[in-house]
Amino acid sequence: MGKVIVDPVPWVTGYSRLTVETSDDNRVLSILFEPLEKRGLEKVLKGRSVELLPTITPSICGSDSWSHYIASIKALDIIYGRKPPLTAIHLREAGLLLDILESHLRYLALKFAPKYIGGDVKPLVEVINDVRVVKEIIGGRTRNPIYGIAGGVTRKPGSSDVEVIMDRLSRILDILEKTSKSYMDKISSSREYTAKLSNDKYRLKNTGFIALLDGDGKIGYYDGRPVILGPDGSRRMVDEGELIDHLVVSSRLGTCELYGGRNGEVYMVGAISRINLGKTYSEDAEEIIDKLVELSGGKPLINIFVEPIARLVESLDISYRLNKLFRDPSWLSGESISFEGKRTNAGLGVVESSRGLVIHKYGVSGDGLVDDVEILDPSGIRLPVLNKLLEKYRGSTYSSELLDDVLEIVKIMDLCIPGASKTLRLGGVRG
């Protein structure tokens, strides 16, 4: 029996280890992916004054920090019994979209393009900096924003701010339109990539998808309701509270053991889930999706190599949405906070992030201290999906190509270990 250990696993945010066990005749017995960065941040949220949570929880995962922040602020809205006015909703949504956009673009520029597209990633890096400028104008900081308050936002951009925002947003859209076209051309003509897109090995088996959708079936990053597309193809809306139990059960089944004949279904979240379930805003984005469906053999899209392109689709679509939002910024003239409302003792915030669903659920005692916390991070939800994909290698003959392949899948999943290790505990114990 032999063991191949990759430590640290490259292309993963945070510290993790991958162990491949092989038999005497060089067949893969198991592959174990272990998140080894243990933090325990969720443990110190209990006992905190609830109003502090939005400033602490973004640290769960730095590259999805705004999603955790906005989910946390939404939970506060409910605890304070307030309904934020439209101005605040739009500003929060804009911030959330910008953060997802930045995360997508970083992934595309630094993880995806160098290997599969080649060429200069400078235009994308420029776009990322534009996004960061707009984020700062809207939320104060590029990471861990500070503009939220229960029932609204603390600051509205002024008219000169809006000019800068519009200027940058139109440039972002312009570059992304060009980038997405050239990327799609490259991908369609790349034999390596199209082969991957149609390879059965990379298909998500017995995997469902979850995404937030708004009333007319479009992706609702900020305030959509969760919809599940089951592995059997059934589609249903679920209650947010029910979703936590649902996902935690599936996380438990997955744990971090990558073998063991578990039959439980797992759920994928993030760009691939969203474009499987919801409609986008722009025709260009829909066009790319059609092309993807054609390349990978039908809908729902279940090949993991669709994920990077799904993130490209979303980047384009998010830029459309943002441009549309700020083209007529008359909504900015309204109130930015609503103080009306009666306190409650529980709050729930669900939003999308670049990697998928973020769920924050807090219980508050009579004196305003947090006495119950449940937080799901998308990297944690994705780990069991990764398990399922890697299970397929069991019994194969071990080779360095196989290891490269495995590491490539890990890279495509774009895990954030600081977030993932929060939700999942080895041995299947809920964190």
Partner 1 sequence: MTRYAFLELTSCGDCLSELYMNPEINKLLEEGEIVYWPAYGIVGDPEEIGEVDVTFIAGTVRTRRDLEELEKFRRISRIVVAYGTCSIYGGLNGLTALLEPRAIADGEYVKLLMPTVKPVTDYIEPDILVPGCPPTREVMARLAKTLKKYISGGKPEKKIFLIPGEVLCKHCPRRPSNPEKAEMPGIRDPNEVVDDGRCFIEQGILCLGPVTANGCNHLCIRFNHPCMGCMGPARGVVDQGLNMIGSIGSILLKSREVKLLFPGLAKELDKLRDPMGYFYRYTLPKAMLTKLALRRRGVE
Residue 427 binds to partner 1 (criterion: CB under 8 A): yes
Shortest Cβ distance from residue 22 to partner 1 (Å)? 22
Residue 13 binds to partner 1 (criterion: CB under 8 A): yes
Q: Which of 23, 26, 49, 198 binds partner 1 (CB under 8 A)?
A: 49
Shortest Cβ distance from residue 96 to partner 1 (Å)? 16
Residue 218 binds to partner 1 (criterion: CB under 8 A): no
**Three-state SS letters, 24-88:** CCCEEEEEEEEECCCCCHHHHCCCCEHHHHHHHHHHHCHHHHHHHHHHHHHHHHHHCCCCCCHHH
Residue 399 binds to partner 1 (criterion: CB under 8 A): no
Cβ 125 vs Cβ 132: under 8 Å = no
Q: Of 147-155, 180-188, 226-234, 282-290, which segment contacts partner 1 by CB under 8 A? A: 147-155
Quickly tell me which residue has 């995404």 as its tokens: 211
Residue 368 binds to partner 1 (criterion: CB under 8 A): yes
Point out which residues pair with 219 in neighbouring strands. Answer: 213
Per CB under 8 A, contacts with partner 1 among 176-205 are none
Q: Is the dihedral of CA 168, 172, 174, 175 positive or negative?
A: positive
Quickly tell me which residue has 């409609």 as its tokens: 279
126 vs 286 by CB, closer to partner 1? 126
CA distance 316 to 136: 21
x-or-dash string of contact with partner 1, 314-353, rule CB under 8 A: -------------------------x--------------
Residue 164 binds to partner 1 (criterion: CB under 8 A): no
259 CB contacts (<8 Å, ≥6 apart)? 29, 30, 31, 391, 394
Shortest Cβ distance from residue 60 to partner 1 (Å)? 7
The distance of Cα 165 from the centroid of its chain, to the nearest Å, equals 24
Q: What is the helix (H) or strand (E) element at residue 349, kind and residue range?
A: strand 346-351
Per CB under 8 A, contacts with partner 1 among 369-398 are 369
Report the candidate in 348, 378, 364, 343 with the shortest Cα–Cα distance to residue 242.
Answer: 348
Contacting positions for partner 1 (CB under 8 A): 8-15, 36-41, 43-44, 47-49, 51-52, 55-56, 58-63, 65, 76, 80, 106, 110-111, 125, 128-129, 132, 136, 139-144, 146-147, 149-151, 154-155, 339, 367-369, 411, 416-418, 425-427, 429
